Amino acid sequence: MNGDGKSVRAPLPRYTPTVEWTGTALRLLDQRLLPGRVRHIVCGTVDELCDAIRTLAVRGAPAIGIAAAYGAVLAALESPPGEGFAERVSALLDRIASTRPTAVNLFSSIASQRRILSVCQGREEAVAALAEGAGRLVEEDLEASAAMGREGARLLPGRCSILTHCNAGGLATAGLGTALAVAYEAFEQGLLERVYADETRPLLQGARLTAWELSRRGIPVTVLPDSAAATVLSGGLVAAVFTGADRIAANGDTANKIGTFPLALAARAAGVPFYIVAPLTTFDPKCPDGGSIPVEQRPRGEVEFSGRRRMTPRGVDIFNPAFDITPEALISAIVCEKGVLRKPFRDGIAELTP
């Protein structure tokens, strides 16, 4: 209560804790149940973590990478010490790497943990060092998110509304976000009027997750069908589009949730700038262009059914890619923790990711 007897809502935490290490297990905010239910699950084994990643209990490229890093600690904890310990841990890391093919953070985190494992002497040292390495990734991700928020907010022309796709907020990272970090920073500066959030087919991460995050922070949000985005853009309702990314190739081609490519096309036609916001861990300099990025195919049931109700005739073919590739030519700029990359993207990416 304040001095006038009116209730005052306590400020919300700046970060949404998505992935938390308990010391012996990984505690995850189960994103499959949001927004209807807030529940955490505890993964105490590599198999439990792999299931959580595959079924999207944890999702978003940075968050998957962090979960995989702690998965290396789980692998060390459940591997018997002695001769062959490192090989047993490595085999479990291979299992984690097989869960999802597109988000590069998964593979870069595992590679980082493998390097740590290679210099450890015994199980006890490995557990401690791998936990420290994963914790370092969390801190780096939070710092990168804050920096991206500041850099991205500078791109806004003044007080305006923006449009986003899928979920690139705290739920997709260590707790703050990529594209939504821009929204949070802009809102704090008084630059953001409203966020238009595509519902994002087929799993509705925009409607379920982005709208949940923004509304909890008191940011006005309007959810729209993916197919309505072109109308919003051509109608002058937004000044810019900001999306996250799951992998950025050496030339700037970007993989993100399915529907991002047509959104970029619509933005180009409407003359609205289209920005990608992603940390350096999402850049893949070994991948020359978008054609080299593997695109995950999701189960057909996600399109066939809505809950238990069948939505398609039996026997028809289903095409259900989780991601699409946005060519670099449609991207106005790429925001990362080191600043804003302009074209030619290849030069800037090569400089930042030697």
Question: Which DSSP string do the residues of 39-108 spell out, in sequence order?
Answer: -EEEE-SHHHHHHHHHTTSS-SHHHHHHHHHHHHHHHHHTSPSSTTHHHHHHHHHHHHHTS-SS-HHHHH
Domain ranges of the chain: 19-144, 151-352
For residue 340, the SS3 value is strand
Q: In whole angstroms, what is the distance from residue 193 CA to residue 184 CA?
A: 11
Q: In whole angstroms, what is the distance from residue 273 CA to residue 250 CA?
A: 21
Assess contact for 58 and 19: CB atoms under 8 A: yes
User: Distances in Å between the alpha carbon of 82 and those of 85, 92, 123, 236?
Assistant: 6, 16, 8, 65
What pTM was computed for the model? 0.91
Angle, vertex CA 331, rays to CA 285 and CA 160, nearest 5: 130
Level-2 CATH architecture, domain 151-352: 3-Layer(aba) Sandwich (3.40)
Instruction: Determine the pLDDT at residue 6.
Output: 43
Instruction: Determine the pLDDT at residue 110.
Output: 97
Active site residue 246: yes
Angle, vertex CA 138, rays to CA 55 and CA 331, nearest 5: 75
CA quadruple 142, 145, 188, 161: dihedral sign: negative
Short-list 154, 159, 163, CA closest to 221: 163
Tokens coding 160: 């305006």
Tokens coding 18: 């998505």
Short-list 169, 160, 214, 221, CA closest to 195: 221
* Class of the CATH-defined domain 19-144: mainly alpha
Report which residue type is found at 160. C
Q: Which of 246, 253, 284, 324 is catalytic?
A: 246
Short-list 193, 199, 192, CA closest to 165: 199
Tokens coding 164: 């986003």
Question: pLDDT of the chain along its 354 residues, tens only?
Answer: 444 544 333 344 456 678 999 999 999 999 999 999 999 999 999 999 999 999 999 999 999 999 999 999 999 999 999 999 999 999 999 999 999 999 899 999 999 999 999 999 999 999 999 999 999 999 999 999 999 999 999 999 999 999 999 999 999 999 899 999 999 999 999 999 999 999 999 899 999 999 999 999 999 999 999 999 999 999 999 999 999 999 999 999 999 999 999 999 999 999 999 999 999 999 999 999 999 999 999 999 999 999 899 999 999 999 999 999 999 999 999 999 999 999 999 999 999 997
Instruction: Determine the pLDDT at residue 14.
Output: 58
